[in-house]
Amino acid sequence: MKFALITFGCRVNQADSTCLDGDLRAVGGRPSHFEDADLVVVNTCSVTASADQSARKMIRRVGRSNPDARIVVTGCYATRAAEEISALPGVEAVVPNARKEQLTDDLRALIRSLPKGTGDGPCGVPLETAAPSRTVHMLCVQTGCDETCTYCIIPSTRGRGRSRSIEEVLERVQSATDAGFKEIVLSGVHLGSYGRDLSPSTSLLELAKALDGQRTDCRFRISSLEPMDCEPALIELVARSGRFTPHFHLPLQHGSDNCLRSMGRPYSKDDYRRVVEAVREALPDSAIGSDVMAGFPTETESDHDESVRYLADSPLTYVHVFPYADRPGTVASRMPKKNATNVVRRRASELRAVAAQLQGRFRRSAIGTVRPALILEGGGLALTDNYLKVQLREPATRNSMVNVRINSAAGGQMMGEIVDSIYNSDVGVEGTPVSIRPANC
Architecture of domain 370-423: Beta Barrel (2.40)
Alpha helices in 166-231 (DSSP H): 166-178, 204-213
**Helix, strand, or coil (residue 439):** coil
Q: What is the pLDDT of residue 422?
A: 63
- pLDDT, residue 13, reads 82
Question: For position 425, what pLDDT does the model report?
Answer: 43
Question: Using CA atoms, how far apart are residues 325 and 329, in angstroms rounded to an integer?
Answer: 12
- Distance CA(133)–CA(381), nearest Å, equals 12
Q: How many CA atoms lie within 13 A of 274 on its CB side?
A: 9
Longest dimension (CA), the chain: 64
Contact 144, 161 (CB under 8 A): yes
Q: What is the pLDDT of residue 424?
A: 45
User: Do 2-112 and 136-365 share a fold?
Assistant: no
The predicted structure's pLDDT at residue 131: 42
Residue 402 has φ and ψ, to the nearest 5°, of -140, 170
Q: Cα(322)–Cα(315) distance, rounded to whole angstroms?
A: 20
Q: What is the pTM of this model?
A: 0.82
Rounded to 5 degrees, φ, ψ at 254 are -165, 150
Round to the nearest angstrom and report the end-to-end CA distance of the chain.
20
Smallest CA-to-CA distance from 21 within 37, 4, 36, 46 is with 4
Per-domain residue ranges of the chain: 2-112, 136-365, 370-423
Q: Does domain 2-112 have CATH number 3.40.50.12160?
A: yes
DSSP letters along 131-179, please?
Answer: S-SSSEEEEEEEE------TT--HHHHH-S-EE--HHHHHHHHHHHHHT
pLDDT mean values, one per 10 residues, the chain (441 residues): 87 83 85 91 89 92 92 92 92 90 86 64 32 72 94 90 96 91 94 96 98 92 96 97 96 98 97 98 97 97 98 97 92 93 97 97 96 90 96 90 94 90 44 30 33
Cα–Cα distance for residue pair 150/80, rounded to 1 Å: 17
Q: Which CATH architecture has domain 136-365?
A: Alpha-Beta Horseshoe (3.80)
Under a CB-based contact definition with an 8 Å cutoff, are residues 406 and 388 in contact?
yes
| Residue 102 confidence (pLDDT) | 86
pLDDT at residue number 421: 65
